[in-house]
Amino acid sequence: MTSEELLQIAEASTAEHEQFDFQLNVCMGTGCMSQHSDKVKAALTEEVAKSGKHCHVRQTGCMGLCAAGPLVLVEPTETRYGNVHEADAKELVDSLGGKPLERLETHLDKYFQGQQHIVLENSGHIDPEKIDEYIGRDGYQALMTALTQMDPQTVIEQISKSGLRGRGGGGYPTGLKWGMVAKAGKGQKYVICNGDEGDPGAFMDRSVLESDPQRVIEGMAVAAYAVGASKGYVYVRAEYPLAISRLTASLREARRRGFLGSNICGTTFAFDIEIRLGAGAFVCGEETALIASIEGLRGQPRPRPPYPAVSGLWGCPTLINNVETFANIAPILRNGPQWYSSIGTERSKGTKVFALTGKIANTGLVEIPMGMTLREIIFEIGGGIPNGHTFKAVQTGGPSGGCLPEEHLDLSVSYDALISAGSMMGSGGMIVMDDTSCMVNVARFFMEFCMTESCGKCVPCRAGTAQMFDLLTKICDGEATHADLDLLIDLCDVVKNTSLCGLGMTAPNPVLSTLRYFKHEYLEHIDNKYCRAGVCACAGKAPAKEEVTA
Amino acid sequence: MSPAVDVKTLVIDGIDVSARADQTVLEVARENNIFIPTLCHLDGLSDVGACRLCLVEVKNSPKLFPACVLKVEEGMEVTTKSDRLLHYRQTILELLFAERNHVCSVCVTNNHCELQATAQSQGLTHVRLPYRSPRLGVDASNERFVADQNRCILCTRCVRVCDEIEGAHVWDVMGRGIDSMVITDLMQPWGESSCTRCGKCVNVCPTGALFDKTKVGSDHPKYPDFVPYLNMMREGR
Tell me the per-residue pLDDT of A118-155, one tens digit each, with 9 for 90 and over: 999 999 999 999 999 999 999 999 999 999 999 999 99
At residue A550 the predicted structure's pLDDT band, cuts being 50, 70 and 90, is: very low
Task: Measure A413 CA to nearest chain B CA, in Å.
Answer: 25
Judged against a pLDDT cut of 70, whether residue B1 lies above it is answered with no
Q: Is this prediction's pTM over 0.90?
A: yes
Question: Which amino acid belongs to residue A492?
Answer: C
Q: Is A180 in a helix, a strand, or coil? A: helix
**pLDDT (0 to 100) of residue A540:** 56
Average pLDDT of the residues in B163-188: 95
Residues B51-68 pLDDT 10s: 999 999 999 999 999 999
Task: Measure B182 CA to nearest chain A CA, in Å.
Answer: 11
Judged against a pLDDT cut of 90, whether residue A200 lies above it is answered with no
Residues B7-54 pLDDT 10s: 999 999 999 999 999 999 999 999 999 999 999 999 999 999 999 999
Which of B52, B55, B84, B99 to substitute to test the interface with A, most A CBs within 10 Å? Answer: B52
| Cβ count near B2 (within 10 Å) | 5
**pLDDT (0 to 100) of residue A191:** 97
In chain B, which residue's Cα lies nearest the Cα of A300? Answer: B176
In angstroms, what is the C-alpha Rg of chain A? 24
Contact B66 A303 (CB under 8 A): yes
B194 CB near a chain A CB, below 8 Å? Answer: no
Q: Which residues lie below 8 Å from residue B14, measured CB to CB, with a gap of 6+?
A: none
**pLDDT (0 to 100) of residue A548:** 46
Q: Which of A498, A460, A494, A476 is nearest to B178 (CA)?
A: A460
- CB–CB of B107/B152 below 8 Å? no
In chain B, which residue's Cα lies nearest the Cα of A459? Answer: B51
Identify which of B52, B87, B177 has the shortest CB distance to residue A454.
B177
Buried b (16+ CB within 10 A) or exposed e, A347-374: ebbbbbbbbbbbbbbbbbbbbbbbbbbb
Task: Measure B176 CA to nearest chain A CA, in Å.
Answer: 5
Contact B130 A470 (CB under 8 A): yes
**pLDDT (0 to 100) of residue A111:** 87
Contact B51 A459 (CB under 8 A): yes
Identify which of B69, B91, B154 has the shortest CB distance to residue A456.
B154
Domains located in chain B, CATH noted:
7-81 (3.10.20.740), 86-218+226-236 (3.30.70.20)
Return the axis-axis angle of helices A439-453 and A509-523, rounded to nearest 10°. 150
Q: How many whole angstroms separate alpha carbon A264 and alpha carbon A149?
A: 14
Contact B175 A456 (CB under 8 A): yes
**pLDDT (0 to 100) of residue B237:** 60
Q: How many whole angstroms separate alpha carbon A46 and alpha carbon A57?
A: 10
Helix (H) or strand (E) holding A279: none
Q: How far is CA A485 from the centre of its chain?
A: 34
Judged against a pLDDT cut of 60, whether residue A279 lies above it is answered with yes
In chain B, which residue's Cα lies nearest the Cα of A500? Answer: B50
Contact B49 A458 (CB under 8 A): yes
Helix (H) or strand (E) holding B46: none
Q: How far is CA A157 from the centre of its chain?
A: 26
Q: Which of A315, A301, A311 is nearest to A180 (CA)?
A: A311
Identify which of A281, A467, A497 has the shortest CB distance to residue B95.
A467
∠ CA B30-B36-B41, nearest 5°, is 85
| A457: chain B residues, CB-CB within 8 Å | 48, 50, 154
Q: How many whole angstroms separate alpha carbon B154 and alpha carbon B135?
A: 16
Arithmetic mean of pLDDT over chain B? 94
First-residue to last-residue Cα distance in chain A? 71
Instruction: Count Cβ–Cβ pairs < 8 Å, chain A vs chain B.
Output: 94
- CB–CB of A511/A467 below 8 Å? no
Q: Is A201 in a helix, a strand, or coil? A: coil
Identify which of B95, B130, B173 has the shortest CB distance to residue A298.
B173
| B178: chain A residues, CB-CB within 8 Å | 451, 454, 456, 462-463, 465-466
Residues present in chain B in total: 237
Task: Measure A42 CA to nearest chain B CA, in Å.
Answer: 44
Which of A458, A472, A473, A484 to substitute to test the interface with B, most B CBs within 10 Å? Answer: A458
Q: How many whole angstroms separate alpha carbon B87 and alpha carbon A187?
A: 45
Q: Which residues lie below 8 Å from residue A337, measured CB to CB, with a gap of 6+?
A: A158, A159, A160, A161, A162, A163
Identify which of B92, B99, B153 has the shortest CB distance to residue A498.
B92
Q: Which residues lie below 8 Å from residue A527, measured CB to CB, with a gap of 6+?
A: none
Using a pLDDT cut of 70, give the percent of chain A over it: 98
Task: Measure B177 CA to nearest chain A CA, in Å.
Answer: 4
Average pLDDT of the residues in A185-202: 92
| B92: chain A residues, CB-CB within 8 Å | 459-460, 494, 498
**pLDDT (0 to 100) of residue B219:** 80
Judged against a pLDDT cut of 70, whether residue A443 lies above it is answered with yes
Supply the DSSP symbol for A511: H
If phi > 0 it is left, if psi is from -120 to 50 it is alpha, else beta; for residue B215 that is beta
B64 CB near a chain A CB, below 8 Å? Answer: yes
In chain A, which residue's Cα lies nearest the Cα of B52? Answer: A498
Contact A455 B178 (CB under 8 A): no
Task: Measure A301 CA to nearest chain B CA, in Å.
Answer: 9
In chain A, which residue's Cα lies nearest the Cα of B180? Answer: A456
**pLDDT (0 to 100) of residue A549:** 46
Q: Which of B122, B67, B126 is nearest to A498 (CA)?
A: B67
∠ CA A367-A370-A376, nearest 5°, is 70
Contact B177 A455 (CB under 8 A): yes
Helix (H) or strand (E) holding A343: none
Identify which of A456, A470, A498 has the shortest CB distance to residue B180.
A456
Largest Cα–Cα separation, chain B:
62
Helix (H) or strand (E) holding A449: helix A439-453
B83 CB near a chain A CB, below 8 Å? Answer: no
Q: Is B194 in a helix, a strand, or coil? A: coil
First-residue to last-residue Cα distance in chain B? 27
Q: How many whole angstroms separate alpha carbon A541 and alpha carbon A532?
A: 13
Arithmetic mean of pLDDT over chain A? 92
Q: Which of A320, A316, A321, A307 is nearest to A186 (CA)?
A: A316
Task: Measure A425 CA to nearest chain B CA, in Å.
Answer: 21
In chain A, which residue's Cα lies nearest the Cα of B128? Answer: A487
Contact B129 A487 (CB under 8 A): yes
Supply the DSSP symbol for B165: I
Residues A289-312 pLDDT 10s: 999 999 999 999 999 989 999 999
- CB–CB of B45/B62 below 8 Å? no
Q: Which residue has the higher pLDDT, B1 or A90?
A: A90
Q: How many whole angstroms separate alpha carbon A502 and alpha carbon A289?
A: 11
| Cβ count near A87 (within 10 Å) | 9
Task: Measure B48 CA to nearest chain A CA, in Å.
Answer: 7
Task: Measure B52 CA to nearest chain A CA, in Å.
Answer: 6
Using a pLDDT cut of 90, give the percent of chain A over it: 81
| Cα pseudo-dihedral A366, A372, A373, A374, rounded to 10 | 20
Find which of A2-11, A46-55, A308-317 is predicted with most confidence, using mean pLDDT: A308-317
Residues A482-541 pLDDT 10s: 999 999 999 999 999 999 999 999 999 999 999 999 999 999 999 999 999 989 887 655
Judged against a pLDDT cut of 70, whether residue A542 lies above it is answered with no
| Cβ count near B128 (within 10 Å) | 14
